Amino acid sequence: MAPLTLPRTIYDETHELFRGTVRRFLECEAVPEHDGWEHAGITPRSFWLRAGQEGLLCPHVPESYGGAGGDYRFLAVLGEELARAGITAANFAVHADICASYVLHYGSEAQKQRWLPAMVAGTALVSIAMTEPDTGSDLQAIRTVAERSADGYRLRGAKTFITGGANCDMCIVAARTGGIPGSKGISLFLVDAVLPGFQKGRSLQKLGLKGQDTAELVFDDVALPRDALLGEEGAGFKYLMGELPRERLAIAVLAVATSQRAFDLAVEYTRRRKAFGQRILDFQNTRFKLAEIQSDLLAAWCLLDRCIESHANGKLTVPQAAAAKLWTSELQCRVVDTCLQMFGGYGYMLEYPIARMYADARIQRIYGGTSEIMKEVVARAIDAGD
């Protein structure tokens, strides 16, 4: 059964040349080492340095800060190729797509000069800390505080579920300033990990994505200089909302590309595996399930391409990104589950990629805003007539 495809018109020759570079790099530098990273629970810094040397970490950063000055499509290519290769250990999206964009969009010139070249090179790894033990998706309820001092701010509080927290050299921290409740009292800070009081807590043991270090962070009266403030005081929630479409689109890219990989693995396995004297692919149930997945993938790629194009042109809205994240992440979990079933008992064995994909997929419906929050975002847009 030949896979059905539609021509993708959002990428030009430059994007495809970049795709080839990414694919070759991952096949040589990541695929052979990935199992070891999962056992270790962290991706070594040496890999980040090699990725930086190849120009893969922040391709959208302007040349004046060490990047290639590419558009958003280069980040989408990077996400697609990581999923295609099955590389979940190194979360490029958090470091390159999300964190670099915060610095680029809201940072002062001094902040950009200090952090962006190092992020491009992989010599400074950056994470973002929003979630707290008692807040989850409710960012307006955060309790971490940054109180003004004579020299700047004093940062106190704790964050959890921080991707890249154990490896980070700098963390973008959301904290409450000015004693103001709700969204208007939230500010963002660039917190250097070497500052006294910045404590990296335990690395968390997760169901999936085991090669990504996920940590608890504690800020014990960290003295921050005034220039640690990112953008304007009290504007942090606005910045977070402004960047959420980008984050949710990155999750959608991973969801669709991973669904495609699960389908491809299932097709390959059912073609060669036999049961009751015939290929598994020859059973009508298998063929119909694969036909359903293929049809869903056709729709998913079309939706994703339209969203990538819209975001590259600055037109992707918060409700549109929420809808894309909702549908594609739910699709990923359904596709991986259906494909695993075709592997029978082998699908439950971790030596088979489909088993690890099953565990990895579940978080997609939680981080970046749960599916329930995405439904609320879309429903509010409906109610408002947007």
Q: What is the DSSP string of 287-339?
A: HHHHHHHHHHHHHHHHHHHHHHHHHHTT---HHHHHHHHHHHHHHHHHHHHHH
> Interior CA angle at 385 toward 247 and 98, to 5°?
10
DSSP for 209-222 reads -TTS-EEEEEEEEE
Domain with CATH 2.40.110.10 in the chain: 127-234
Contact residues for 93 (Cβ-Cβ < 8 A; gap 6+): 75, 79, 247, 250, 251, 254
From the list 38, 339, 85, 48, the residue with the least C-alpha distance to 209 is 38
User: What pLDDT is stored for residue 3 in this prediction?
Assistant: 54
Closest CA to 252 of 304, 211, 204, 208: 304
Give the C-alpha separation, 44 to 313, whole Å.
35
Q: How far apart are CA 257 and CA 252, in angstroms?
A: 8
Average pLDDT along the chain, 386 residues, taken 10 residues at a time? 73 97 98 96 96 96 97 97 95 93 98 98 97 80 93 96 96 92 91 98 93 96 97 96 94 98 98 95 97 97 97 95 98 98 96 97 95 96 85
Quickly name the fold that domain 127-234 has.
Butyryl-CoA Dehydrogenase, subunit A; domain 2 (2.40.110)
> Which residues are known catalytic residues?
247
Rounded Cα distance, 231 and 222, in Å: 19
Q: Identify the CATH homologous superfamily for domain 13-124.
A: Acyl-CoA dehydrogenase/oxidase, N-terminal domain (1.10.540.10)
Sign for the CA dihedral angle at 30, 58, 216, 358 comes to negative
pTM of the model: 0.95
CATH assignment of 237-384, among 1.20.140.10, 3.20.20.70, 1.10.10.10, 2.60.40.2140: 1.20.140.10
13: Cβ contacts below 8 Å, ≥ 6 apart: none
Strand partners, 131: none
> What pLDDT, on the 0 to 100 scale, is given for residue 262?
98
